[in-house]
Amino acid sequence: EPEVTQTPSHQVTQMGQEVILRCVPISNHLYFYWYRQILGQKVEFLVSFYNNEISEKSEIFDDQFSVERPDGSNFTLKIRSTKLEDSAMYFCASSEAEGRSEKLFFGSGTQLSVL
Amino acid sequence: QKEVEQNSGPLSVPEGAIASLNCTYSDRGSQSFFWYRQYSGKSPELIMFIYSNGDKEDGRFTAQLNKASQYVSLLIRDSQPSDSATYLCAGPTGGGNKLTFGTGTQLKVEL
């Protein structure tokens, strides 16, 4: 069964460092997303991406965050200067199309720890 | 702010019983809802989705949507210990696929 894959599974970084989280969405999917989940809290939307552009972003997704699809398969989330409060599980998701009834499939996540 | 609300639990049921998980939402425009199961430290796994009023059954799972009451529920029949997890209710908000998640209800199925 096709799945969304994410690397690395764990990332430890020092405050102020840049990190790049990587995702390979399901191959025939066109819409890509990043969500995050701080320990014990809700899964929160960060950004959606389609046709090489951001479709929508949340208030969390400030200038420190960026997304990119550098080639035909990868989708990345970059945090330029990490803060302690960026520590969370980051989930990539993808969907086949757009629409309020489209199903999102999530990757296994990257646990980011900022020290 | 469009919200999805769930009781965080834990909800404890004995093995073999029916577990009933509930969710309310504020966006009257929401047409569809999704139930995800999340084991501790793992990613959300889609288990059910419902687009129209009424019930939708899939194996041991039944999703129920009542748009007039802005209420969606998930029933798990013949609960098994492997069903012990956090169940997340999610609905689309805004024009696209962005999902707003509830806090999740922790289900414990006891032997």
A78 to chain B, minimum CA–CA distance in Å?
20
- Comparing CA positions, the residue from B37, B68, B36 lying closest to residue B53 is B68
Distance from CA of B51 to the nearest CA of A (A): 7
Chain B CB contacts of A42 under 8 Å are 101-104
Q: Is beta strand B4-5 parallel, antiparallel or unpaired with respect to B19-25?
A: antiparallel
Predicted pLDDT of residue B32: 87
Q: Is the pLDDT of residue B23 over 90?
A: yes
Q: What is the mean pLDDT of residues B4-30?
A: 91
Tell me the residues of chain B between 31 and 50 that have a Cβ less than 8 Å away from chain A: 31-32, 34, 36, 42-46, 49
Q: What rounded mean pLDDT belongs to chain B? A: 91
Measured from the Cβ of residue A20, the count of other Cβ atoms closer than 10 Å reads: 14
Residues on chain A touching B45 (C-beta within 8 angstroms): 106
Alpha carbons B58 and B33: distance in angstroms, whole number: 15
Q: Which positions 51-80 of B are in contact with A (Cβ < 8 Å)?
A: 51
Query: CA-CA distance, A11 to A87, in Å (whole number)?
Result: 10
Residue-level pLDDT at B1: 64
Asked if the model's pLDDT at residue B95 lies above 80, the reply is no
A62 phi and psi angles, rounded to 5 deg: -90, -165
Tell whether the model's pLDDT for residue B94 goes beyond 80.
Answer: no
For A2-6, A24-28, B2-6, B82-86, which range has the lowest pLDDT when averaged over its residues?
Answer: B2-6
For chain A, residues with pLDDT lower than 50 are none
CB contact under 8 Å between A98 and B45, yes or no, is no
pLDDT computed for residue B92 by the predictor: 82
